[in-house]
Structure 1
Amino acid sequence: MNTKELAVAIDGPAAAGKSTVAKLVASELAYIYIDTGAMYRALTLKVLREQIPPDDDQAISDLLAKTDMQLEQGDSGQHVLMDGEDVTEAIRSEYVTNNVSHVAKHASVRKEMVQRQRELANKRSVVMDGRDIGTHVIPDAEVKIFLKASVEERAKRRYDENVKKGFTADFEKLKEEIEQRDQIDSKREVAPLVKANDAIELDTTDLTINQVAASVLEEVSKVLETRRDG
């Protein structure tokens, strides 16, 4: 499969399976995987450490300007480095999860993050997941996917994920938190969570991760076939 110079954008709400699917697709295509959510999580971790209020737009923007972020591929998967520190595990804590949407909604933060993400995507051969990839970050992506799933299913996935990692988990509380994140992400003024007009929508509620990844790869194949025919 000739996969040269394609960009794959995968969007969707919290716990819809974006990251897991994106990693599988990137691996299959031998593409670079870019976890944009991890970038916002890393900033959120630093905001919390610095005890900056999540609603302080200017202070957070200033903090981001002097924060270095790197996504590095290792033997055990992608590692997130913030100012040289490996924060791959730390950014997945419940504390960060419950605050990331508040930090990510600021216009100045999104403007800077989008610029960094576009630079990463410039060379193509990337799979990027997030909430505004197909609509805002790389609207010219050749393949756009929008994943969705019921709140009940997404809460179950997050619950299972937390239990597996040894974190305390309350199913009903997780449902409430996911609904709150949906509300914040979809109602924010800058680059809200919406499906791009030309994105393929996939409901993952009753699908396995491998089935979803196969569907995405099928869409990639269609684009490649069109290119060859053209």
Structure 2
Amino acid sequence: MTGDIRVVTIDGPSGSGKGTVSRCLAAQLRWHLLDSGALYRLVALAAERRRIPGTDEAALARVAADMKASFAYRNGVEQVLLEHEDVHAALRAETCGKLASKIAAIPAVRHALLERQRACARRPGLVADGRDMGTVVFPDATVKVFLTASPEERALRRHKQLKQKGIDVSLRDLSKDVSQRDQRDANRTASPLRAAEDARVIDSTRLSPEEVTARILPWLEAAGIESNRA
């Protein structure tokens, strides 16, 4: 599926730390990074701008297939482009995240994004962050990791992130949102959230992103993937 291009997948529920860990690994390996969650947020944002309701599955799938989206770095700053506009900040809004979570349960949308995600596998390699990277998108990945953390810790992490951005959200509401997302992700018919049979599982509840990364690096080296450790 990816030929001889090496892929490392980092899957897990919201707030497990997979995004931060994936960025750390991609930086150390000097590989490409796929933030699959951003793709679903892009679909949500594009649909919102086109005034497409979240219930119109066919229209949402068309958005996923034809939206002009790309990822880039400019002067060391990450950019997410939608129709040539940098929408990186807009994608982090809670409303966008909630709609993206619902859209991600639509099989037609997931199918429309599948080849777009697989096309991200380019030399020298790819770190892919998501919920079905190791089970569906890259089942032949070189190394698969599944991150978990307690629901309470994941809600606390999200609460801290939003407070740092100046967004006031109650911890109770975030805990409820984490629970609802977990249920949607685990119970959806298309690509439900689960660890691949050959994935290595890490509980990150009491670990920092640096500690999680340090646990993964020996697995990569055992698979013949050299990192650029400081």
Same fold, judged at TM 0.5 (above): yes
Q: Distance in 1 between matches of 2:33 and 2:56?
A: 31
**Secondary structure at 2:192's aligned position in 1?**
coil
Q: Which runs of 5+ in 2 are unaligned?
A: 226-230
**Contact 1:101-1:181 at 8 Å conserved across structures:** yes
Corresponding residue for residue 16 of structure 1: 16
**Number of equivalences:** 222
**Structure 1: segments with no counterpart, 5+ residues:** 226-230
Offset of 1:26 from its aligned partner? Answer: 0.6
1:98 alignment partner in structure 2: 98
- 3-state SS, counterpart of residue 71 of structure 1: strand
1:135 maps to 135
**Deviation digits for residues 155-180 of structure 1, max 9, x if unmatched?**
00000000001111210100000110
Partner of 2:194: helix, strand, or coil? coil
% identical aligned pairs: 37
Mapping of residues 50-199 of structure 1, within 5 Å: 50-123=50-123, 125-199=125-199
Q: Deviations over 1:47-70 (max 9, x none)?
A: 222232212211111222331110
Whole-angstrom distance in 2 between the partners of 1:187 and 1:77: 36
Deviation at 1:124, TM superposition (A): 5.6
Instruction: After TM superposition, give the deviation of residue 121 of structure 1 in Å.
Output: 1.3
Offset at residue 187 of structure 1 (A): 0.9
CA distance in 2, matches of 1:120, 1:80: 14
Q: Distance in 2 between matches of 1:92 and 1:48?
A: 14
CA distance in 1, matches of 2:22, 2:74: 16
Matched position secondary structure for 2:34: strand
Task: Output the TM-score relative to the length of structure 1.
Answer: 0.92
The one-letter amino acid paired with 1:190 is: A
Task: Answer with 155-164 or 96-105: which moved more.
Answer: 96-105
- Deviation of 1:74 after TM superposition, in Å, equals 2.7
* SS of residue matched to 1:141: coil
Rounded to whole Å, the distance in 1 between the matches of 2:46 and 2:171 is 27
Q: Which amino acid is 2:98 matched to? A: N
> Within 1, Cα distance between the matches of 2:170 and 2:55?
26
Task: List 4+ stretches of structure 1 deviating above 6 A.
Answer: none
1:117, distance to aligned residue in structure 2 (A): 0.6
1:98 aligned counterpart, secondary structure: helix
Report the aligned-residue RMSD: 1.4
Deviations for 1:85-114, whole angstroms, at most 9, x for unmatched residues? 111010000111111111111111111111
Query: What SS class does the counterpart of residue 156 from structure 2 fall into?
Result: helix
Contact 2:5 2:121 in 1 (8 A): no
Matched to 1:115, the amino acid is: E
